[in-house]
Amino acid sequence: MPDATPADLNRILARQRAAFLQGGPPDLKQRRTDLRRLKAEILKRRTDIVRALKSDFGQRSERESAIVELIPLVQSINYIISNLGRWMKPERRHVSAYFQCGRAWVIRQPVGVVGIIAPWNYPVSLALVPLATAIAAGNRVMLKPSEFTPSTSAMIEEIVRAIFPPEQVSVVTGGGDVGAAFSALPFNHILFTGSTAVGKKVAEAAARNLTPVTLELGGKSPVVIEPGFSMQRVADRMAFGKLTNAGQTCIAPDYVLVHENDRDAFSTAYQDAVKKLHPGSYAGSPDYTAILNQHHYERLSGLIGNAETQGAQVIRLGSDSTADHVLAPVLLLDVTSQMAVMQEEIFGPVLPVLTYRTLDEAIAFINARPRPLALYYFGDNRAERDGLLKRTVSGNVTINGTLLHIAQDDLPFGGVGDSGIGAYHGKEGFIALTHARGVYRQGRFNAATLLQPPFGKLTDVLTNLILR
């Protein structure tokens, strides 16, 4: 599929907007039908999707592709189908004292045409879950997948073309120039998943059209480990969270805050957990994913080198393959906040470890930095856990685990501040991509007459009751 031109983008948007205005919003039956057809097409092409992902990454675990791409996607569609009827029902609202003879309610109205910009790290689920959500909300969609995963983007375009007419859903491809032009279109809503830096540009472009945005960004998601907690329990779950997709996950644990007395125990347990999870070579492994491209491989190597130059202890847990951009897991000890690895989101299998003496110190460290997309706490001390949750602000939280909050269909997913604006998944996604339209129906009795003679005394009584 050739890259879209500005003229193409404007033409598609105009066509979808006209179709939305002429056809009106689809009913519940049509939305469910569309979602079932999307699910069926995904399942039919399951093998082709996994093959496309492997082609784009060079080396990507087929098992991981099924677990982190396809299963969450299918489960999300199933959840939306099951709950959509309830979400679409009008919601009864309270009527004020003067107007008790009338009725008030809220209906969720499609906003129109939604622009979706998907990232490269989970290019299937992070494109098609927002698409399914927008369809459930009754909208038309223009979808721009990442230019860094061309095989997967082509597969997404084939899936969409097999199900939807272009005036309902269209896929457009292209690089950064197309992405910039896409963001500048006067959509009714934009949902963007990607880096904070690009998210700011998307928000700036959208603001010129007063287009609402949902921004799913990233950041440095911390892990806080309670003093004396079982490092074996921590290490297994940390290795899973950090090494899934080779750390190329927006909610991956970015760094660890462990009590100074427990640092060595954590280091030993984590190394053992990584070796148990990946006992063989990383290059050519069917269970380990490569870094997307050479640029990101070199970026991560630079972060490791910068930390080592500044005094960090670098523990390499395997051999790399530069030619295949496969980066084995790395543990960094004696890390300081001045190192480059603590200045930007890592997005790779590199884990810095910092120590604290008191929980107050750990909380202060987190709060001195931009608000993260995820927060992880390992411990059984309820008072300390609740204190951490109360005194920090982040996106979602997993306690005594990593990543798994994203798999809960009934939880909203989103960040705050530098890690994002708004949320989607489940009902929150439906709400984000619809307009809450308030409706009041006046009853047979005209309440406005209470403001006119001969009801002056009654009006005074009611006024005094309300204002007392």
274 and 241 Cβ atoms separated by less than 8 Å: no
Is 101 in the active site? Answer: no
CB atoms within 10 A of CB 160: 22
Instruction: Please report how the helices 125-136 and 28-44 are oriented relative to each other, as an axis angle in degrees rounded to 10.
Output: 160
- With tokens 């670098």, the residue in question is 314
Q: In angstroms, rounded to a whole number, what is the distance separating the alpha carbons of residues 134 and 188? A: 12
Q: Could you say which of 64, 69, 226, 250 is catalytic?
A: 250
Q: What distance in Å separates the CA atoms of residue 349 and residue 155, rounded to the nearest whole number?
A: 28
The answer to whether residues 349 and 328 touch, using CB atoms and an 8 Å cutoff, is yes
Strand, coil or helix: 267 = helix
Annotated catalytic residue within 216, 226, 345, 428: 216
Tokens, residue 76? 């999300």
Instruction: Write the DSSP string, 292-323.
Output: SSHHHHHHHHHHHHHHHHTTPEEEE-S--BGG
Distances 223 to 75, 97, 103, 411, 460 between C-alpha atoms, Å: 27, 51, 49, 20, 60
Spatial contact of 291 and 246, defined as CB atoms under 8 Å apart: yes
CB distance 239 to 272 below 8 Å: no
Spatial separation of the C-alpha atoms in residues 438 and 461, rounded to whole Å: 29
Tokens (6 digits) for 12: 């598609």
What sign does the dihedral 298-300-305-306 (CA atoms) show?
positive
450 DSSP assignment:
G
- Count of residues for the chain? 468
Active site residue 204: no
Rounded to whole angstroms, the Cα distance separating 116 from 456 reads 56
Instruction: Give DSSP secondary structure letters for 387-453.
Output: HHHHH---SEEEESSSSGGGG-TTS-B---GGGEES-BSHHHHHHHTEEEEEEEE--SS-GGGGGST
Question: What are the residue numbers of the active site?
Answer: 216, 250
